[in-house]
Amino acid sequence: MCTDFPNNNMTFKETSIDEHPKSKPMSETLTASGKRDLMNIRVSENFFLWEFVPRNILYRLEERALLLIDSRIIEVAQYLRKMYGKTFINTYGIKGHLQNSGFRPCDAGIGAEFSQHKYGRAVDLKFPETSHAIIFKQITTGESIQKDLYQLGARRLEDIEDTPTWIHIDLGEGKDVIENKLKVFNP
Ligand SMILES: [Zn+2]
């Protein structure tokens, strides 16, 4: 249950979540002082782990925070990054305030109760170089973009009327899924 999936009082046991033992980190960059640089854990060509998880989770789980993210949503974000250039998800790593644009803990206090964000299957993408309305239109009317995104696992887009300054895309399955099409939904 959602309320049993805590943030501050996370009860994961090391043995159950630690698929990337600390002795062999998935990707590690050391700072000048010899500490692991958590802001430099890369998860795709253009994205870092911090862009998908809140700061407190990153600092608590370190590279194991990747287990909270469905890898398909990283591929979806990377596909759109290639297509539309610079893309922001979380921004706290670049002195912004956004930290719930990828995985969103149940106690974040924003968004829908059972949002796909809470399962690590959604991202809110901000594109500073292209209009969100244009991107939304191209995705919803472009057969090949939709097919590519569908094949990567994407299933839904939130209606641009409700998200004028970002693109919400997620992996949420439903009975009404049509192959190679993305469903536009309202919250
Ligand atoms: Zn969203």
- Model confidence over 127-185: pLDDT tens digits? 999 999 999 999 999 999 999 999 999 999 999 999 999 999 999 998 889 999 999 99
Please report the pLDDT score of residue 87 as a whole number.
98
- Residue 25 pLDDT > 80: no
pLDDT at 11 over 90: no
Reported residue count of the chain is 187
Distance (Å) from CA 183 to ligand 1 centroid:
14
Q: CB pairs under 8 A, 24+ apart, for 133-142?
A: 133/160, 133/164, 135/80, 135/84, 135/167, 136/160, 136/167, 139/167, 139/182, 140/182, 140/184
Q: Name the least confident of 50-64, 103-117, 138-152.
A: 103-117
Ligand 1 centre to CA of 135 (Å) is: 16
Residues with CB under 5 A from ligand 1 (ion): 124, 168
Lowest mean pLDDT segment, chosen from 24-38, 45-59, 66-80, 134-148: 24-38
Ligand 1 centroid, distance to 122 Cα (angstroms): 6
Give the Å distance between the CA of 7 and the centre of ligand 1.
19
Q: Which residue has the higher pLDDT, 16 or 92?
A: 92
Question: Residue 169 Cα, ligand 1 centroid: separation in angstroms?
Answer: 7
Ligand 1 center to 170 CA (angstroms)? 8
Nearest to 75 by CA among 183, 149, 173, 128: 149
137 CA to centre of ligand 1 in angstroms: 18
Q: Name all domains of the chain by residue range, CATH numbers in brackets.
A: 38-185 (3.30.1380)
> Ligand 1: distance of its center to the CA of 30 in Å?
32
Residue pair 67/19 in contact (Cβ under 8 Å)? The answer is yes
Give the pLDDT mean for 89-95.
Answer: 97
Rounded to the nearest angstrom, the distance between the alpha carbon of 124 and the centre of ligand 1 is 5
Segments in the chain forming alpha helices (H): 14-17, 55-61, 71-84, 132-141, 143-152
Look at residue 67 and tell me whether its pLDDT is greater than 50: yes
Q: What is the mean pLDDT of residues 35-51?
A: 93
